[in-house]
Every structure is written in structure tokens, then in C-alpha cells.
Amino acid sequence: MLACTGLAVLPSALVRPAISTTAPVPAEIPTRPRAAAGELAWTRLVEDPLDVVAGEAGPVVVQSGAVRGLDPATGAVRWSYERPGATLAAVDRADLLGQRYLITSPDGRYAALRIDAGWQWVLTVVLDTRTGEVTAERPSHEDASLQLTDTAALDGDRAFSLADGRDLWTLPRDEEVERPSNSGYTGPAGHSTFIDFHDPKRIRGAWGDIALIPDSDPTTATRVDHVLTDPTNQSFVVVNGWTAQLTGDGAQAAEATLATIRETYAARIDNADGEPVMLGWQTQAVNIDALAGSAAEAGTAPVPMGISSGINNWASLASGDLCLFGQMSYVSMRRLASDDDRVAAVSSLLDTATRTVRTPETDPGLASAEVGIEATVQNGSTTGSVVVRPGNGGAPISAPIGEGSALDPRSAPDDRRPPAQQLQNALQRRDAAALTVPGATLLIVIPSGHTAYSTPAPPIRIYGVPEGFP
């Protein structure tokens, strides 16, 4: 169905009308693959790419002026939303291609994007990822945080319904908070809980304190301290309503570590002969909806996760599992946050669907898999293949990079960085990434030199390995 939607919230001169092609709800909603395995079924070249995310029924790709939902089994376009001539505004940093352009609800059904309207204003648009239908349009400030539960969005300090865009409430002002009109967190929230994240970072983003706000009652807040963040970008991470927190004993040990760093910084950090300060404390996975008092999650207990020094943001988003770094030195963490990707990126992970904990050695999925491009020989000629090697030693997924790809196969010699566990900062220096979406594992080839500010962005190639249909 083809439809044109005018804007009632902003002058049409600022934001051009949309052209959308919608699709029916799929007869079967696929699941996210539990294992990184299968055979290549389709490939697709994406021009002017901005983002790739997991919708409820498959992959959703963002291009300059357009958002498209793909069939995970074939790679064909199921629905599209286009704004010819309009500029999509990044909603956050730290994503597959450097910046994030779509924020999804925890269940993946809704996705929110922003369109530049000029004069520091944007139009926030909500799409149903199953059909491509526009469910809400709201004006917003370009610097406002944006987070989604399964049913509501918190845009700055204003909450509205994802289903129809109606106003729900406004966050009460807090004189002690410097930015009363901003929650401080952008991304998927809990299934029914928003996040207020204002505390300053402690050890280069190792942990922080948050407040949890039910999306049905902004006057009720639950404080949660010593919540782990990602040391590569200092971001707070939620996966399917779960995040990681230091235990009571872990918090005491972490505070002692912080005191040690403050007291002996010069001697132990800058002196190569000094004894390294080790980071890593007892950690547990916690369900933020349960902590906020959700009746649906009542009785959901924390899950012990062992020793950890932070959450791996990209590995978590890519796999749908909550992935944690292991113990590392403070020097390693500082390098990790800049340009050193040699640290083991995942030491333990939580399968949030089954609430089971795995190590890389027992993980068949993408969470701890090594991803990259390897030189291969075909018919006597050196070429390249994008590969995914599961942490448990299972058979790898491999897709040859052929002519007409986004990456010249001859540009994949032996001197390329070898496949490695996925890490946010390493994405900028590797030519490949992998992402699980409902119904498929995606292998993505990213040309060298791609940056978040490339104009136009060089094309990427997506390889689809279907799995996960009921």
C-alpha cells in the first residue's frame, strides 16, 4: 500500500512529506538465531548506508532519506519509509557504522528515527517494524535523549505512546539534576521501565548509578547503584530488559580499587615498572523491570555472572545476549577505550531468553564469535571471505567476497587484522561485522575508511544466513 503522510507538527517547508510502502504482518514472526550457523542464502548491496538494526520480524536498514524492512529469508524489501531530500539525524553514537539512527523497543516491534527540521529541531517518527506503518510523529529538540519501552517513548522529558503518539506525561523537575529536561540515556530501555542516568562516570565508565522510572508512573523512581557500563564508550547497556550490576561484595571491592587508583596513579599507572591495578569484580545480571516493581517480572532474581570489568555494548547489541568483559588491568582498559582491541572482549554472557549463563567456550552463538575477513584461494587466485567463527569451535559461517561487492576481494590480504571478538571501537578498523536479527544472521562487509561522517557513505554488503523460523 502506497501512502503520503503530511506533517501536522512542523511546517512542511522544514520536513518534506513521507512516502511509505507498508506490508502485512508476517504470518510467522521468526526468532533470533541461537547459533551462528547455516548457509548463505542471499546478499544485498546497500547504498548510502547509515544503520542496520534488528526489528521484530527481521533486519531494518537505514539509508540516506529512507528506512527499509527486509525479509530475513530472502533479503527482499518488505516495506519502506522514505523522506526524499530530507536529512536523517543521528540519535546516538556507538553503533555498527559509527552513529545510531534507529532506536528500537526492547521487543523490536517499534523503531524511532529523527529527521532534521533545522534550527535545532527534529521530527521524531515511530515505525511499526513488522509493517512499516507510521504510528507516531512528534517534534523534538535535537539534543534530547530518546529511549523506548515496549509501549512508550521518553523523548527528553516527555513520554508518549508508541501506538498512537498521544501524550502520556512529563518528567517531574528535579532541582538537583543539572538537565531536568533530559533523561541522560538513549537506547532501548526496559519492557516497561525508563532509565534516568545522570551520575558521572567512575573508572572511565566502569560503572554508574541510575534511577528506574515505570513508564506508567513518572512519580515513582527506584535508585540502582554500581551498574556496569561499557569502557569503550562509557555507555549504559540494556538487553531485553537486562543489565549488569556489581554485587554487594563487588561494589565494596570496586570502591577500594577506585581509591587505589586515586592514591597511586602516578606510581602504578604511569610507571611501567609499577604493579598494575586490576579491574574486575563480582557481578550479577539484573532485570530492570523487576527492580522497578513490574508485576510481570515479579520474583525475577539476579543471575550471578562472575568477575567482570564492564559490559561489551556492541557484542550485546549484535547478539541479543548480555555480554561482559572479564578482568583487565587499568592500563588495558585505557587502551581498550582508545585503540587497543587485543583484550578478550567477552568472558561471560547471559542468554536473556532462557536466563542461562555461558562462557565463550560453550557459546554457539554470535556473542563471543570471532568476526572478520580472511584471505582465501579460489582457482589459484587470492580472494577474501567474511567469516564468523563461534566461540565453542563450531563450524564457521563463510561468505566469499566477489566482484561487485562493497569491498574489493583483492583488498583482503594476509596483513589485515585477523577475525576477532566484536568490540565497539574495533568496528572502525575492521572491514566486517555480524549481527543477529529475527530469522537470520547477517554478515556485513564495511569498506575500509568508512566513518560516521563519510558523505556520501560508501556502500556496504549484507550477507544473509536464514535461521530461526518457527
| Cβ atoms of residues 146 and 160 within 8 Å | no
Write down the pLDDT at residue 369.
93
Say if pTM beats, i.e. exceeds, 0.85: yes
Mean pLDDT for the stretch of residues 119-133: 95
Write down the pLDDT at residue 36.
92
The helix/strand/coil state of 216 is coil
Give the model's confidence band at 205: pLDDT under 50 very low, under 70 low, under 90 confident, else very high: low
| Cβ atoms of residues 54 and 62 within 8 Å | no
Q: What is the chain's mean pLDDT, rounded? A: 84
Measured CA to CA, the distance from residue 413 to residue 432 in angstroms comes to 14
Rg (CA), the chain: 22
| Cβ atoms of residues 229 and 245 within 8 Å | no
**Who's near 66: CB < 8 A, 6+ residues apart?**
80, 81, 82, 83
Mean pLDDT for the stretch of residues 129-150: 95
On the question of pLDDT at 261 being above 70, the answer is yes
Give the model's confidence band at 180: pLDDT under 50 very low, under 70 low, under 90 confident, else very high: very low
Q: Domain ranges for the chain, please list them.
A: 2-466
The β-bridge partners of 328 are 279
All 3 cell numbers of residue 451? Answer: 566513518
**Who's near 139: CB < 8 A, 6+ residues apart?**
9, 10, 117, 121, 122, 123, 124
Lowest mean pLDDT among 156-170, 212-226, 328-342: 328-342
Highest mean pLDDT among 19-28, 104-113, 225-234, 343-352: 104-113
Quick: pLDDT tens for 270-280.
Answer: 455 567 788 89
Percent helix / strand / coil, the chain, rounded to 5: 10, 40, 50
On the question of pLDDT at 206 being above 60, the answer is yes
Of 132, 75, 128, 74, which is closest to residue 105 (Cα–Cα)?
A: 128
Measured CA to CA, the distance from residue 281 to residue 262 in angstroms comes to 18
Write down the pLDDT at residue 468.
76
DSSP state of 362: G
